Amino acid sequence: MEMLVASAIGVMTAGGIYLVLRLRTFPVIMGISLLTYAVNVFLFTSGRLTTGAPPILRDGVAIYADPLPQALVLTAIVISFGMTAVVVMIGLGAFLGSDDDHVDDPTDENEDRAGDAS
């Protein structure tokens, strides 16, 4: 079970990094989201992978789930949703302002416009 979850975290991280390195806005946003999902799963697994275990330590209970990573993941989900909404709006504004969704790709056309303005 631990190997499967660790492999899933690695695949999500690799996919997220690959998408963040793209030159278009939408894949970068999807890559950031995938990286936040990978971090959330990593934080969640740091509290032990147990099923049916209570989140509170009581007398006579040997196996329990740590509630702190669960609370951290819940907070991280809310923060990542807000961050994704802000990044989508910034990307949409940049696309509508320039009719291009390249992240940081100076093209010959952009250099010609910069040369004409000076």
Q: List, for the chain, all residue ranges whose pLDDT scores fall below the cut of 50.
A: none
How does the average pLDDT of the chain come out, rounded?
A: 83
| Residue ranges covered by each domain of the chain | 2-117
Q: What's the DSSP call for residue 57? A: -
DSSP letters for 25-82: HHHHHHHHHHHHHHHHHHHHHTT---SS--SS--TT------HHHHHHHHHHHHHHHH
Instruction: Give the pTM.
Output: 0.73
